[in-house]
Structure 1
Amino acid sequence: MPVNVTITAEELIALLAERDAARALREEQEALRGALRLVTAERDLAEERLRAYRQELFGVKSEARGSDQLGLFNEAEVLGAGRMPAREDSPESTVSAHTRKKRGHRKPLDPNLPRDVVRHELPEAERFCMNDGHALVEFGVEISEQLDVIPEQLRVIQHQRVKYACPCCDLGIKVTPAPARIIPRGLLGESALAWIATGKYQFGMPLYRQAGLLRRFGGDISSNTIAASMVRVGLASQPVINLLRDALLDAGLIYCDETTLQVLKEEGRRPKTTSYLWAQMTGSGVPIRCFTYTPGRGTKLADRLFTGIRSGAVMMTDGYEPYNDIARRYELVHLGCWVHVRRYFVKAEDSVPKAARTHDLLATRFIKLIGRLFAAEVRSETWSAQRRQRLRRRYSARVLDAIHALMLEQSHGVVPKSLLGKGLTYLRAQWPKLIRYIENGDWPVSNNACENAIRPFCVGRRSWLFSDTVDGANASANLYTLVETAKANGIDPYRYLTWLFQRLPLAKTADDYEALLPWRMPVDLR
């Protein structure tokens, strides 16, 4: 039988109060749990940033990983039964149960170098046989060679301009005109200017150090004079730079990247304001490396670098947004860089304590998959474009599908502000550009080539630190362009700059300047 329970009003009010108190307690506990989760997430992010900063400051800078993470594939249906050949320059060879280093072989000295023969003979008193006392006869020599260095030698070229006068009057006076020079009345000759330019822009030696080096050999020239000379020759080469840029913009494939540069004296800008040096290079046709200075890196400034590019050209860049605007405006095929994607996941992996790293770490899984893409490119490096494209469609496309599936599966469970979250965000944003390279066997998978082209500037910047003026920055960009383009065409930069500086003052027409491009230099002078 049902039991009737009578509750007084006071008891009902007490029960409702207890219920409300319990509910409030649960809500408070839930809020505390949420706050704890937030604080824990913020703590984890702070620890991750701290580990990333420590890695950046004190850790190994290389992004290379072990052979297992390079993802060297061996699927039979893709590669066939053949094995990958061993690298010829491998420093070790496996012998039975242990590893033994190969014996090194000294590289022979250049046979074209001049040689001074120093003959070493036994004294006359020792040229006899210890057994029977007969005189020894010469039957050959043992030859060993050492490289010797003759210090730099300076000389002064004295120009004597002959003056002529009429013996019968005082009006018929003539003076031989001065030869055309790249710096009229300049103190430094063309070969000296080329030597200084290659010292700074090829080997990263600051001008004040070169001034000190010249003083050792008797050339007491101030660093200010040298710097002014570099600015003048850099700006004087602008017509050749313009022709190089025109040829670059006409190429079918262009790489682009940028790095920071500090200019101390620029109107309307503080000395510590960051400026930029842009690097562009061709991926097809004649090798060209162009460097351009800009006070910033917005879309309007970047647009100047591509004015005149032909529609339908291919552009390889990182994920910087202005490149997207450039690609849309000029209707370019825009490719994404897989090295930049991989870099995010390398940083995420490095931020994890070594004790906590496993093969199933999400960042490591992405690195392994991306490594398979690059392994395919390494294997097909010497193949024809058609054969490489077949490999990309049959193998790389499946790896891309695996990367895409893993990205969609893990995106919702990763904190967006973490290093791994930033990597996933970048991967999602760049995905349409990242997968486009499989459409053509000639298209690159990364922007590494351009990063390698801009590296000499970054290395040199550690020594000379900044440019004093805007003219100096533009002149440096021009000279870097000439040096790196000469190197890309297999020409010694010193010889090219000497040849260019001697002929540049004589050029008058567009054809004259066209004849001064690096690949037009006579082969016997390179």
Structure 2
Amino acid sequence: MLQMPSAEEYQALQQALLEAKRQSDEAARRNASLIGELRVVRSERDLLLEQLNKFKRQLFAAKSEIGATQQKDMFFNEAEELGAVAKPAAEEGEDETLDVPGHTRVKRGRKPLDPALPREVVRYELPESERVCPHDGAALQEIGVEASEQLDIIPQQVRVIRHERVKYACPCCDAGLRLAAKPDQVIPKGLFTEGLLAWVITSKYMDGLPLYRQAALLGRFGGTDLSRNTMAASVVRVGQAVQPIINLLRDRLLEAPLIYGDETEIQVLKEAGRKAQTKSYMWAQMTEGSGAAGCGPPIRLFAYTPSRSTEASLGLYAGVSKGSVLMTDGYEPYNYVAKTNKLVHLACWAHCRRYVNDALQALPKDKRSSEQLAVQLMDLIASLYEVESIARNEGIDANALTLRRQEQSVPVLKKIEALLLANHHAVAPTTLLGQALHYAVGQWSKLERFVHDGKYPIDNNACENSIRPFVIGRRNWLFADTVAGANASANLYSLLQTCKASGIDGYRYLKELLIQLPKARTVDDFEALLPWSISTSKS
């Protein structure tokens, strides 16, 4: 017969059951907590892996968003790499034949050399004894030449210009002493001629050649022991002397109906009240058409500021024409610039595409299917650019481009907007995809604005291309020593990039500018020294 447990035993069993349930609940809570912690750890791991892969791509991968390209910076082994597959340039006018299935294709020879380059003619004549016809013994007569051309170079030739000011005196008295005048120089009593100053500046800011390397190069060609500090001081003096030209360029840029803006970091070592490691900034402003009508020459301007603040950006755009168009990235101070000056503000689709591409590249290659949001967005953005590319190739005007954008780009924008609204709350903002979505959503009103006018650009690539030489050159000299040096660099970059945008030889322009600049006294004098006004034919 089954014996019922006593009250004490029943109570003990009940307590044990409650304790077991408590422990089970505790284990379940602990398990749920660990699962949550695991999710957080995995999310942090995935985020760190995304960042790590992004940094690896920045260091080692091709930078193009279009796809992998051949690495161009071979540096030391460039000649060996190229020599293995390349052939010397064919003689001018020589055509090679290539066998192609179905027919023979003619491959044209090299392009002719620049006809503006000076020519030195080397003639090859038959000896007198061979100028006789082997058939009838008659003397051969010259009927023409068969010409070919090679490119040659004369290395830097360092010379000294000795200035002799002739003194005159009256032979009859001591009151007639006179001294011939010497033209004013941009650097009074300076060591370097205008030509050498122009060469140093162009080499530094166009070719990215640091001053210490230039000093060594000049020493190798001329045996001259030049001080890098002397060269640097001369560059700064020139950068300060051209300020009136920069002021005129800025006036014309701020009148333009469309301005591009961007900024990048620069380090200035000796700045009052700031550590040497503190970041400063170089701002870029450019227009493809200067003046109020937007029909003037293109202008590229750089300006140094110690910070990236709203006040700094407002100062750079002080005096901009109301109602002009401003194309920038998503940096917040530009919003204040546009609002304060009542500008039409456009955002950059290239920046948006770059964020999406970073998210796409973070995916394993086998996961990059059409179902992935990053893939869909990249395809849609590519469609926007395809519309622009076809229109550009066809050469249609702004009105026709407006109509085409309304017909072809607006439907694409609606698809992009639908994807953004459906997904941006569901993706963690710390992930690369989350950053891309939140950037696009935050900039959307400015991103979609380009379709309203065919004169509006789709991106800020024009300004980024303008600022790229500065970024590349910065890798060679890393920092500016002083604030004066940073301001001088900004001015000289501005002149050289403006010259480049108009197809003007920067060296020739600078040389002639430095010769003429000391003579300028009035606004009209300085106007005549703008890159597109000054004559460089004799430089």
Aligned to 2:422, the other structure's residue is in SS state helix
Aligned to 1:62, the other structure's residue is in SS state coil
Deviation of 1:380 after TM superposition, in Å, equals 1.1
Distance 1:173 1:96 in 2: 88
Partner of 2:77: none
Q: Does 1:380 align with 2:391?
A: yes
Partner of 1:453: 466
In the superposition, the TM-score normalised over structure 2's length comes to 0.84
Partner of 1:90: none
Q: Does 1:300 align with 2:308?
A: no
CA distance 1:28–1:102, shift in 2 (3 Å): farther
In the superposition, the TM-score normalised over structure 1's length comes to 0.86
Deviation of 1:148 after TM superposition, in Å, equals 1.5
- Residue ranges of structure 2 left out of the alignment (5+ in a row): 1-5, 70-97
> Which region of structure 1 is more displaced relative to structure 2, 266-275 or 49-58?
49-58
> Which region of structure 1 is more displaced relative to structure 2, 147-156 or 430-439?
147-156
1:220-239 alignment runs, 5 A limit: 220=224, 221-239=226-244
Partner of 2:41: 39
Partner of 1:465: 478
Partner of 2:427: 414
Deviation of 1:162 after TM superposition, in Å, equals 2.5
> Which region of structure 1 is more displaced relative to structure 2, 12-21 or 414-423?
12-21
Partner of 1:75: none
Deviation of 1:24 after TM superposition, in Å, equals 4.0
CA distance 1:49–1:144, shift in 2 (3 Å): same
Deviation of 1:525 after TM superposition, in Å, equals 5.7
Distance 2:413 2:115 in 1: 50
For 1:423, the aligned partner's letter is A
Partner of 1:436: 449
Partner of 1:250: 255
CA contact (8 A) 1:240 1:516 kept: yes
> How many residues in Structure 1 have an aligned counterpart in Structure 2?
494
> Which region of structure 1 is more displaced relative to structure 2, 172-181 or 504-513?
172-181
Deviation of 1:112 after TM superposition, in Å, equals 3.0
Kindly provide the CA deviation profile for residues 402-457 of structure 1, in whole angstroms up to 9, marking residues without a partner as x: 11111122223322211111111111111111001111100101000001111111
Partner of 1:54: 56
Q: Does 1:146 align with 2:159?
A: no
1:202-351 alignment runs, 5 A limit: 202-218=206-222, 220=224, 221-284=226-289, 285=294, 286=296, 287-351=298-362
CA contact (8 A) 2:258 2:324 kept: yes
CA distance 1:35–1:114, shift in 2 (3 Å): closer
> Which region of structure 1 is more displaced relative to structure 2, 104-113 or 194-203?
104-113
Deviation of 1:303 after TM superposition, in Å, equals 1.6
Aligned to 1:518, the other structure's residue is in SS state coil
Deviation of 1:176 after TM superposition, in Å, equals 2.8
CA distance 1:154–1:350, shift in 2 (3 Å): same
Kindly provide the CA deviation profile for residues 460-518 of structure 1, in whole angstroms up to 9, marking residues without a partner as x: 11222221111111111111111111111221111111121111111112221122111
For 2:451, the aligned partner's letter is I
Kindly provide the CA deviation profile for residues 306-351 of structure 1, in whole angstroms up to 9, marking residues without a partner as x: 1111211111000111111111111111100000011111111222
Q: Does 1:183 align with 2:194?
A: no
CA contact (8 A) 1:317 1:335 kept: yes
CA contact (8 A) 2:260 2:287 kept: yes
Pairing partner for 2:530 from 501, 509, 517: 517
Distance 1:434 1:21 in 2: 57
Distance 2:302 2:239 in 1: 12
Pairing partner for 2:364 from 350, 353, 359: 353
Distance 1:380 1:321 in 2: 32
CA contact (8 A) 2:509 2:536 kept: no
CA contact (8 A) 2:47 2:431 kept: yes
Kindly provide the CA deviation profile for residues 145-199 of structure 1, in whole angstroms up to 9, marking residues without a partner as x: 1112122233333222222334444344332333211111111111221121111
CA contact (8 A) 1:252 1:283 kept: no
CA distance 1:42–1:119, shift in 2 (3 Å): same
Distance 1:29 1:223 in 2: 68
CA contact (8 A) 2:325 2:346 kept: yes
CA contact (8 A) 1:259 1:278 kept: yes
1:74-113 alignment runs, 5 A limit: 103=107, 105-113=109-117
For 2:278, the aligned partner's letter is T
Partner of 1:85: none
Q: Does 1:393 align with 2:393?
A: no
Percent identity over the alignment?
52
Distance 1:484 1:508 in 2: 25
Distance 1:274 1:97 in 2: 63
> Which region of structure 1 is more displaced relative to structure 2, 157-166 or 389-398?
157-166
Aligned to 2:268, the other structure's residue is in SS state strand
For 1:442, the aligned partner's letter is K
Distance 1:355 1:134 in 2: 81
Aligned to 1:413, the other structure's residue is in SS state coil
Distance 1:336 1:448 in 2: 11
Partner of 1:163: 167
CA distance 1:51–1:223, shift in 2 (3 Å): same
- Residue ranges of structure 1 left out of the alignment (5+ in a row): 1-6, 68-92
Partner of 1:481: 494
CA contact (8 A) 1:55 1:351 kept: no
Distance 2:334 2:326 in 1: 9
CA distance 1:219–1:386, shift in 2 (3 Å): farther
Distance 2:102 2:334 in 1: 54
Deviation of 1:234 after TM superposition, in Å, equals 0.8
Partner of 2:200: 196
Pairing partner for 1:116 from 105, 120, 134: 120
Ranked by relative contact order (alpha carbons within 8 Å, sequence separation 6 or more), the top structure is 1
Distance 2:55 2:159 in 1: 52
